[in-house]
Chain A
Amino acid sequence: MKLRILIADDHEVVRRGLCALLQAHEGWEICAEAKDGREAVEKAVQLKPDVVILDVGMPNLNGLAATRQLTQRDPHCKVIVLTITDSDQVIREALDAGARGFVLKSDAARDLVSAVEALQRNRMFFTPRVNDMVLAGFLDKGHNGSSTEPPRLPKLTTREREVIQLLAEGKSSKEVACVLNLSTKTAETHRSNIMRKLGFHSIRDLVVYAVKNNIIQVQMPSQLQNPTQGSAA
């Protein structure tokens, strides 16, 4: 029986590349593609793929939030997160969300097949930097009885995370309500709760928070002047 893989990335050209890469492997098939996290969750719930590959920076629902939703529904769900950066923040969020694989987009052609193979054998696959970070955290806990993790972010519900992303993408409460199939009043309540929990007074604060915490990703002009940061593909 073939290994069934779901691929989610907002860029079709990237999805085409990932499909070409993975379909060349005997015994694997792409059972579905999705262009954002919301579509990925819907298709994964419906089709129950063996492996889900999620880009982090997707509109409507980012890959980390989608991972969280999938693993909450099914703790055995095998998710590989694809990302342009292996910053501490993204690594921590991905592990916390329940991802079993973590692959840098720039290394995907080299690492993605290995990552899927690892998950196929019920193992995990991480970049060397993630492995180092996990090991450092483990050793630190062993020596000190506590980790060196930075203070936790305010506790937000899955729904509130979704609302933050949509608001930070510029959607109004009415539009948020429409996307999430809620009443406008409920969307506004979520918005008020988020602002209160985070201590914010403006959407601008929320956008900054969303960017800093990788809930949304924006193209910074500085990436052109300093292109060594790599592209978002």
Chain B
Amino acid sequence: MRVRILVVDDHPVVRHGLRTLLGGHPEWEIVDEAADVAEAVDKATTLKPDVVVLDITMPKMSGLEACRLIRKTAPASEILIVTQHDSPHMMREALEAGARGYVVKSNAARDLLAAVEAVSRHMPFMALNERPGDSV
């Protein structure tokens, strides 16, 4: 299934890394990149990607805000959060903001492809590190 992806992260090195990971799939296309929320919302609205891979901690405005805005301007695009926050609380906030998937950055190499696969089919994908006693 062809999947068009927008990659959003303020660190170019991370964008490079995400591109490398996602680029291995023959049917997926990185349609563009964005380095901040305004650029992300603008590009998501214009390009209408199938999946927006979105960081949370970015300059000026949080990725959660981007998530809410993209849900309004490009409702068909699914949002996959890729973040350093290995936190059930943050995952809950991301879900409330409209994200369909949540991957911890340190596990991106393991989880990213399965997560994009899932959210591109409008299925949820949530993965934190195991932590006894925590609940989402």
Contacts and interface: CB of A to CB of B under 8 A. Distances in A.
A105 B106 contact: no
A20 interface: yes
B38 interface: no
A17 B17 contact: yes
A13 B11 CA distance: 11
Given A13-B17, A17-B16, A231-B55, A219 B61 contact: no
Contact of A15 (B17, B18, B61, B112): B17
A219 B13 CA distance: 20
A10 B84 CA distance: 11
Interface string A205-223: 0000000000000010001
B133 to A, nearest CB: 15
B10 A17 contact: no
Interface string A1-27: 000000000111111111111000000
Interface of A: 10-21, 105-106, 108-110, 112, 219, 223-224, 227-228, 230-233
Contacts of A12: 17, 106, 108-109
B60 A14 contact: no
- 5 cross-chain pairs, A with B, having the tightest CB-CB distances, nearest first: A17-B17, A109-B12, A17-B16, A12-B109, A231-B57
Contacts of A20: 16-17, 19-20
Nearest to B64: A224
Contact of A105 (B13, B19, B109): B13
Interface in B79-136: 82, 84-85, 105-106, 108-109, 112
Contact of B60 (A10, A18, A19, A228): A228
Contacts of B108: 11-13
B35 to A, nearest CB: 10
Contacts of B73: none
B64 to A, nearest CB: 8
A10 B17 CA distance: 13
Contact of A230 (B18, B19, B57, B85): B57
B59 A227 contact: yes
A15 B20 CA distance: 10
Nearest to A59: B106
Given A10-B106, A228-B59, A231-B57, A109 B16 contact: yes
B106 A11 contact: yes
A231 B13 contact: no
Given A10-B106, A227-B58, A227-B59, A16 B17 contact: yes
Contact of A13 (B18, B59, B60): B18
Contacts of B14: 11, 13-14, 17, 233
B17 A227 contact: no
Interface in B46-73: 55-62
Contacts of A219: 84-85
21 contacts: A13-B112, A14-B13, A16-B18, A17-B17, A17-B18, A18-B13, A18-B16, A18-B17, A19-B20, A20-B19, A20-B20, A105-B13, A106-B10, A219-B84, A227-B59, A227-B62, A230-B57, A231-B11, A231-B84, A232-B57, A233-B84
